[in-house]
Amino acid sequence: MKIGVSTFVTDQSIRPAPLGRAIEERGFDSLFIAEHSHIPVDRRTPYPGGGDLPEVYYHTLDPYVTLAAIASVTERLLLGTGIALLVQRDPIHTANEVASLDVVSGGRAVFGVGAGWNREEMENHGTDPSTRGRLLNERLRAIRELWTKEKPEFHGEFVNFDPVFLWPKPVQRPHPPIYVGGSGEAAFRRIAELGDAWLANSGSPEELRPQMERLREVAGREVPVTLYAMPEDAEAVEGYQRIGVERVLFYLPTMPEAETIARLDSMAGIAARFR
């Protein structure tokens, strides 16, 4: 069982460099960080977790600046987005950012993506929430072209460009792995066509098992599963291990440095049982 960490990195938390060093030194295999470009003052979309929107959502650092800083002080840690809000991002800029991270990290970038939930945030980026699924699929296709072709071009409903040069190309071939978030048939079809793994964000082992079986049916192949943001519970880890989950990501609360290090020490003690 691979065990990593998922968290929000903010202007009020431990800095990226000491965070990355601490995670790698304690033997975790990966770090996945959340993205929100901003939070509109006029909020109407309910928070999926229930209740008020947590303060960390208002303070997140840019994921690729953050992960590049962490790449510079680590050697083995996989560096992922959990998730990048591609429906709010220009695909050419994003292709360049992820490829650049892959180069500066020596091939350790993981591109975690999803359709998002905050409708007001999307709308500020000019995204129609009702078509965000199609938009996400198209931007993923365009990014794969940009990563893998010498003179990529793309002509679709939402993305349109004539042949371009885009360097650097990613170190990983054919490209950094694409971890797709979400659940249900639309997400599973997206994974089948465009994804390398499923970034699942909820569900007990008993709930997750039939979803994994359905994903396998839709994709027609085995799909690696990473479980996002779970508590550091050894019994739960054993359950996910039994059903074939490849990796779990312990959720690290956003805290100052001293508290973060203490929490990572506790997490590392549990993770050590599964190595």
Count of CA atoms in the C-beta half-sphere (13 A) of 217: 8
Residue 275 pLDDT exceeds 90: no
The predicted structure's pLDDT at residue 72: 98
Strand duo 154-155 + 160-161: pairing: antiparallel
**Average per-residue pLDDT for the chain:** 97
Say which amino acid occupies 57: Y
Please state, in angstroms and rounded to a whole number, the distance separating the CA atoms of residues 59 and 219. 37
Please state, in angstroms and rounded to a whole number, the distance separating the CA atoms of residues 23 and 68. 15
Please state, in angstroms and rounded to a whole number, the distance separating the CA atoms of residues 202 and 188. 15
* Helix (H) or strand (E) run with residue 3 in it: strand 2-7
Q: What SS3 class is residue 114? A: coil
Taking residues 221-233, what's their average pLDDT?
A: 96
Write the CA distances from 29 to 2, 238, 248, 261, integer angstroms.
Answer: 7, 18, 10, 17
pLDDT tens sequence across 87-115? 999 999 999 999 999 999 999 999 999 99
pLDDT tens sequence across 5-57? 999 999 999 999 999 999 999 999 999 999 999 999 999 999 999 999 999 99
Write the CA distances from 203 to 72, 212, 228, 229, 234, integer angstroms.
Answer: 34, 11, 10, 11, 16
Burial 76-87 (b: 16+ CB within 10 A, else e): ebbbbbbbbbbb
- Residue 111 contacts residue 67 (beta carbons within 8 Å): no
- Residue 5 contacts residue 266 (beta carbons within 8 Å): no
φ/ψ region of 190 (left if φ > 0, alpha if ψ in -120 to 50, else beta) reads alpha
Residue 272 pLDDT exceeds 90: yes
pLDDT tens sequence across 185-221? 999 999 999 999 999 998 899 999 999 999 999 999 9
Structure tokens at 242: 């039994």
